[in-house]
């Protein structure tokens, strides 16, 4: 992999300087700014600055480096809950993280046989994607993936111990909730006594019934896609194209046919929330559908296991009325539990936040897509302006920002930017633009490029979620279980140090956590060295702290602009425009300067604290 070189930082400021006091109350700043000012909004920011570290749990602690395409768990290894020990959690905590999203902990369809160890046997390979299987094809909502346990029979206890260990290290726990679909083999062996399984009382003679848990195709038998081929030349257990499902059920991505295509979510079946899709989506929400009650019980079960939040898969594929019902129900049990919705339709964001009662939603098609275009050498900073001014106007504090997750391609992959350093300006904007959550994906902080073909996942710039695999650059940081970065090269160490500085600053800064926002593009668009297509700057401020953020997205241009802060902006920040100020770069640990004529190397970012000159 290419060496990673970051812009040189000047003299050091202790990270302790980032530990500003903060509260969740709105910023007490002058309100003299007209709401018509095009450089800001009237949103009163709320402190929602979660810093989330997502890990693909089965890959995180895996030390095996064999990486045989389509390899078995024995050949390629698998990470365990026990690998995520105190040392690992402290290293994550020191990165500035507040929450860990343990991806893929619920029992899901897999080709691996755990029956001799006291766990479930393998699924029919006709309806499993990859040897390890998709963590989004749930086989038992009430159980834990046996792959993740050292002692399969005690997998629930090992998960409970991980939750306690995470909390003991000052971190909170997020897990997946997959409400829209389940594996075709779904059957719960771990459900509480008296619980009726999904589909257990369905009338399978009806295509739709309000209290059925599934949708059926009476008289039809499922036809498995012939091109599925989950293990290439090898055959998985019972892989013969004859998986028996009669009557066939509707497929997870709203396919009401007995013959889903290979690109469909054919390994899953869609759950029925009381919407008759084949009759103009007519809703049947009163009385409360049976699926609503069953899913409420599942969420309450895990809330009582002391998890702190749920990342809700494809939340918009489930009616918003369900979320409006279930989220308050779960919060009766655990009031501070958080719900994060995977969402892709900006027109529905406000509905899912207000009516649906979500705490946070993905900001994928807005900020992520805009930053990706900039990072890939195209795009324009106007994409960023459009996000705060239009797309998430009024609720930016409730949008989760990120540059990587398990669904997206790695920044360092040839399919994305091809250079992990492009994250420097983009991640700075993601983390500091608003007061909402920010997330990174394990390995992102060391420039993992997701090279190679893992198996079912193929060569696609993503780290596989379907196969057993070792993640090479992450393994260098893991260093055989020391979690000290001992095998990273110099550029990777610098990259991880950047993430640590940024995330710790984000977590500790009063202005970032609860400050108002003022964009400086209009004030600087006539500057000779301020190329507003690739340079972006803004203010974040409260009564306690004033910050100036500047980012240069260019991969090859060094710019030397003089940043202009309008007198009106200084006034609304509570600063006297007639006085002089110093600017201390907190992000790069640089000493204070008295002027804003800056040198912006390619792929650089700065967070200046503004203070009166003494």
In this prediction, residue 36 carries a pLDDT of 75
Task: Answer whether residue 35 shows pLDDT above 60.
Answer: no
Tell me how far apart the alpha carbons of residues 269 and 9 are, in angstroms, rounded to a whole number: 53
Contacts of 506 (CB under 8 A, 6+ apart): 49, 51, 96, 431, 432, 438, 512, 513
Task: Please state the three-class secondary structure of 94-137 as a single string.
Answer: HCCCCEEEEECCEEECCCCCCHHHCCCCCCCHHHCCCCCCCCCC
Task: Answer whether residue 32 shows pLDDT above 70.
Answer: no
In this prediction, residue 392 carries a pLDDT of 97
pLDDT in tens, 135-187: 999 999 999 999 999 999 999 999 999 999 999 999 999 999 999 999 999 99
Read off the DSSP letter of residue 18. G
DSSP per-residue letters across 51-105:
EEEEEEHHHHT-------TT--HHHH----GGGS-HHHHHHHHHTT-SEEEEET-
556-586 in b/e form (b: 16+ CB < 10 A) is eeebebebbbbebbbebbebeeeeebbbbbb
Spell out the alpha helix ranges (H) of 218-319: 290-303
pLDDT in tens, 429-445: 999 999 999 999 999 99
Average pLDDT over residues 53-76: 98
**Residue 282: strand, helix, or coil:** strand
In this prediction, residue 511 carries a pLDDT of 98
Average pLDDT over residues 294-306: 98
Tell me how far apart the alpha carbons of residues 465 and 59 are, in angstroms, rounded to a whole number: 9
CB 103 within 8 A of CB 56: yes
Tell me how far apart the alpha carbons of residues 385 and 99 are, in angstroms, rounded to a whole number: 28
Tell me how far apart the alpha carbons of residues 496 and 486 are, in angstroms, rounded to a whole number: 12
**Residue 312: strand, helix, or coil:** strand
CB 277 within 8 A of CB 255: no
> Six-digit token pair at 359?
């705490």
CB 572 within 8 A of CB 518: yes
Tell me how far apart the alpha carbons of residues 443 and 469 are, in angstroms, rounded to a whole number: 13
> Six-digit token pair at 472?
């090479």
CB atoms near residue 423 (< 10 Å): 27
Average pLDDT over residues 589-608: 97
**Residue 359 half-sphere exposure, CB side, CA atoms within 13 Å?**
23
Tell me how far apart the alpha carbons of residues 596 and 602 are, in angstroms, rounded to a whole number: 18
Contacts of 325 (CB under 8 A, 6+ apart): 288, 292, 296
Task: Answer whether residue 68 shows pLDDT above 50.
Answer: yes
């Amino acid at each position: 992999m290419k060496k990673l070189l970051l812009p040189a930082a000047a003299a050091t400021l202790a990270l302790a300087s980032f530990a500003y006091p903060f509260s969740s109350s709105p910023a007490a700043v002058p309100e003299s700014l007209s709401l018509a000012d095009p450089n800001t909004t009237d949103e009163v920011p709320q402190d929602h600055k979660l810093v989330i570290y997502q890990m693909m749990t089965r890959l995180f602690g895996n030390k095996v480096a064999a990486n045989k395409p389509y390899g078995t768990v024995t050949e390629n290894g698998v990470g365990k809950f026990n690998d995520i020990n105190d040392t690992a959690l402290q290293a994550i905590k020191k990165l500035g993280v507040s929450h860990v999203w343990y991806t893929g902990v619920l029992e899901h369809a897999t080709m691996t046989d755990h029956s001799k160890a006291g766990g479930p046997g393998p699924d029919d390979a006709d309806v499993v994607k990859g040897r390890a299987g998709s963590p989004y094809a749930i086989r038992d909502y009430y159980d834990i993936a046996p792959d993740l346990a050292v002692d399969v029979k005690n997998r629930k206890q090992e998960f409970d111990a991980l939750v306690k260990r995470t909390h003991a290290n000052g971190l909170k726990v997020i897990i997946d909730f997959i409400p829209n679909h389940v594996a075709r083999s779904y059957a719960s062996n771990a459900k509480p006594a008296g619980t009726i399984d999904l589909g257990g009382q369905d009338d399978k003679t009806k295509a739709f019934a309000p209290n059925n848990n599934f949708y059926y195709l009476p008289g039809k038998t499922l036809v498995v896609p012939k091109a599925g081929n989950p293990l290439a030349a090898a055959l998985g257990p019972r892989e013969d194209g004859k998986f028996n499902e009669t009557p066939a059920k509707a497929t997870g991505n709203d396919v009401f046919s007995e013959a889903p295509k290979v690109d469909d979510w054919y390994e899953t079946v869609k759950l029925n929330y009381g919407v008759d899709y084949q009759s103009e989506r007519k809703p049947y929400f009163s009385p409360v559908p049976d699926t609503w009650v069953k899913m409420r019980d599942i969420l309450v079960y895990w809330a009582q296991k002391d998890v702190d939040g749920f990342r809700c898969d494809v939340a918009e594929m489930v009616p918003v009325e369900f979320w409006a019902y279930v989220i308050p129900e779960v919060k009766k049990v655990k009031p501070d539990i958080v719900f994060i919705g995977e969402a892709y339709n900006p027109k529905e964001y406000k509905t899912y936040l207000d009516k649906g009662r979500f705490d946070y939603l993905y900001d994928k098609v807005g900020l992520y897509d805009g930053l990706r275009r900039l990072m890939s050498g195209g795009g324009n900073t106007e994409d960023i302006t459009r996000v705060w001014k239009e797309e998430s106007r009024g609720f930016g504090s409730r949008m989760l920002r990120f540059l990587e997750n398990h669904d997206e391609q790695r920044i360092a992959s040839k399919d994305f930017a091809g250079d992990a350093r492009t994250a420097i300006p983009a991640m700075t904007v993601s983390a500091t633009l608003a007061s909402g959550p920010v997330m990174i994906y394990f390995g992102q902080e060391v420039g993992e490029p997701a090279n190679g073909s893992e198996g079912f996942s193929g060569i696609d710039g993503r780290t596989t979620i379907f196969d057993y695999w070792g993640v090479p650059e992450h393994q260098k940081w893991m260093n055989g279980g020391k979690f000290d970065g001992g095998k990273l090269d110099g550029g990777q160490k610098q990259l991880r140090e950047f993430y640590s500085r940024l995330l710790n600053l984000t977590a500790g800064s009063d202005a970032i956590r609860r400050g108002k926002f003022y964009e400086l593009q209009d004030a600087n668009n006539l500057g000779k060295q301020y190329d507003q297509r690739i340079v972006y700057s803004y203010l974040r401020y409260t009564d306690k702290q004033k910050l100036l953020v500047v980012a240069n997205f260019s991969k090859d241009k060094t710019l030397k602009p003089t940043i202009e802060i309008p007198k009106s902006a200084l006034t609304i920040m509570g600063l006297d425009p007639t006085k002089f100020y110093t600017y201390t770069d907190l992000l790069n640990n640089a000493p204070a300067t008295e002027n804003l004529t800056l040198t912006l190397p390619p792929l650089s970012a700065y967070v200046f604290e503004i203070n009166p000159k003494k």
